[in-house]
Amino acid sequence: MSGNQMQMVNAFDTAQAEKLPETERALIDRRARLLGPAYRLFYEKPVHVVRAKGVWLYGPEGEAYLDVYNNVASVGHCHPAVVEAVSHQMGVLNTHTRYVTDGVLDYAEALLATMPAEIGHVMFTCTGSEANDLALRVARHHTGAEGLIVTETAYHGVTSVLAEASPSLGPNMPKSPLVRLVPPPAAAGGDRAAVGAAFAGGVQRAIEDFAAHGIRPAALLVDTIFSSDGVRADPAGFLAEAVETIHAAGGLFIADEVQPGFGRTGAGMWGFARHGILPDLVTMGKPMGNGYPVAGMAARPEILTAFGRDLRYFNTFGGNPVAAAAGLAVLGVIREEGLIANAARVGALLKSGMEEAARRFPVIGGVRGAGLFVGADIIEEGKPSAARAARIVNGLRERRVLISASGPAGNVLKIRPPLPFSAENAAYFLEQMTAVLRTL
Ligand code: PMP
């Protein structure tokens, strides 16, 4: 990899551009010229797409790619119910939350109904980053403290404070004196009490280190499926002790549901609920509007009291009537199409299929996940192998099947299709995966 490509798993290496066919090279050159050097494309041979439907993305010649990666188009690409809701509302009214509008209230009511009764308010943003940024501001205001605890390979967003709390951006990202990193939950799963105690122990050590530096903790912020840490879902319930630990130190627990939220785990709407915990703040994004930028932060009302009294909040596009229509349509599709049950059923097929592959191909060191979020460790001589993971990811891409990789060593296959993924889609994916594994 060339220097500027170092910090992302599965990044296209621009130094390899001359190997591409002329039309693709021209597009990639144009992109670099217009968008500048900070963006990264996926894959050794980037994928050019022009339209999508359901679980399929299509290239310029009509070639179909099976989407086993995207969690934004979570109810399926270009779902007609969402398209219709957004198009209709765009032609009726689109304005901001300083006027009284009905849509945002209907949506807030429907969204809060999916959460524990203690979570009584929801505020809207346009991105997951904005939701996390707001949650951090609220947590700091409520606690009067500043410290933030996240996991070692976390990703929480693009703002200045969140980039400093997103170690998955790599070693070139400056560290913040107000952030402490804790080891993620054990990859191997195992006993719930032991996994919970080990994770909470890391949180306790971070709190003690803050104290040694005269800092009090405002919050523990975690992605409740630990995506960028390499997918850590089991044993469900292991988060409870860490929540108690942060509470005992006066800090809040923020559940980042940008990845597991909206039914992905197959065990209900929310990743935190699978752990049987009650967060103080919940942040949401990606799948929330099925591609329309909708995100938000839900809260226990008492946490918002001081912030609402002392400050005010306005997000120009957040909670606009079109965003609310998109969000409401997504909730309707999840319910009407039984997508949570589908995530559980097809997710189990995907996971058991990968476990079966692990028995046949020793390159797979372990398989984890919940619902339609499956991670598989790729190893070589017992050690994590990002190179082999990249060969699998790119081998599948050649077969027009899209996945990616994540984790601290970049060796965890990230298998995370849209929620309407069918048993037939899963069987096709596993067939293609097996074919690629045979070539290693
Ligand atoms: N939190 C998590 C766990 C995420 O995965 C992401 C996006 N990858 C974000 C927050 C930030 O969301 P956005 O890109 O919408 O700002």
- Per-residue pLDDT of 100-155, as tens digits, reads 999 999 999 999 999 999 999 999 999 999 999 999 999 999 999 999 999 999 99
In percent, how much of the chain has pLDDT > 90? 93
Give 97's contacts (C-beta < 8 A, 6+ positions apart): 104, 124, 314, 315, 318, 319, 320
Does the pLDDT value for residue 41 go beyond 90? yes
Q: How far out from the chain centre does Cα 128 lie? A: 9
Q: Whose CA is nearest to atom 10 of ligand 1?
A: 156
Give 255's contacts (C-beta < 8 A, 6+ positions apart): 222, 224, 270, 271, 272, 277, 279, 281, 282, 283
DSSP string, 281-331: EEEE-GGGGBTB--EEEEE-HHHHHHHHHH-----SSTT-HHHHHHHHHHH
Q: What is the mean pLDDT of residues 41-67?
A: 97
pLDDT tens-place string over residues 197-241:
999 999 999 999 999 999 999 999 999 999 999 999 999 999 999
Classify strands 51-53 and 217-223 as parallel, antiparallel or unpaired: unpaired
Do residues 112 and 340 make contact, with C-beta atoms less than 8 angstroms apart? Answer: no
Residues having CB within 6 Å of any atom of ligand 1? 127-129, 132, 155-158, 223, 227, 256, 258-259, 285-286, 295
Task: Name the residue with tokens 């959460």.
Answer: 115
Q: What is the mean pLDDT of residues 263-291?
A: 98
Angle between helices 423-439 and 386-398 (to 10 degrees): 120
Query: Which of 156, 228, 282 has the most ligand 1 atoms within 8 A of CB, as the residue to mutate?
Result: 156
pLDDT tens-place string over residues 173-201:
998 999 999 999 998 878 999 999 999 99
The amino acid at residue 128 is G
Amino acid 70: pLDDT: 97
Domains in the chain (CATH in brackets) are: 3-75+338-438 (3.90.1150.10), 80-336 (3.40.640.10)
Q: Band the pLDDT of 2: cuts 50, 70, 90.
A: very low
Q: What is the mean pLDDT of residues 245-250?
A: 98
pLDDT tens-place string over residues 304-338:
999 999 999 999 999 999 999 999 999 999 999 99
CA of 44 from ligand 1 middle (Å) equals 24
CA of 438 from ligand 1 middle (Å) equals 34
Q: Mean pLDDT in the chain?
A: 96
Q: Can you tell me which atom of ligand 1 is nearest the CA of 293?
A: 15
Amino acid 372: pLDDT: 98
Give 165's contacts (C-beta < 8 A, 6+ positions apart): 148, 150, 154, 156, 176, 179, 221
Q: Band the pLDDT of 3: cuts 50, 70, 90.
A: very low
The amino acid at residue 82 is V
Does the pLDDT value for residue 4 go beyond 60? no
Q: Band the pLDDT of 6: cuts 50, 70, 90.
A: very low
Query: Which of 132, 258, 259, 373 has the most ligand 1 atoms within 8 A of CB, as the residue to mutate?
Result: 258
Q: How far out from the chain centre does Cα 294 lie? A: 14
Does the pLDDT value for residue 5 go beyond 60? no
CA of 134 from ligand 1 middle (Å) equals 13
CA of 157 from ligand 1 middle (Å) equals 5
φ and ψ of 368, to 5 deg: -135, 170
Pairwise pLDDT comparison (399 vs 6), residue with the higher score: 399
- In the three-class reduction of DSSP (H, G, I as helix; E, B as strand; rest coil), residue 174 is classed as coil
Does the pLDDT value for residue 282 go beyond 70? yes
CA of 200 from ligand 1 middle (Å) equals 24
Q: Band the pLDDT of 7: cuts 50, 70, 90.
A: low
What string of H, E and C letters represents the secondary structure of 43-105? CCCCCCCCEEEECEEECCCCCEEEECCCCCCCCCECCHHHHHHHHHHHCCCCCCCCCCCCHHH
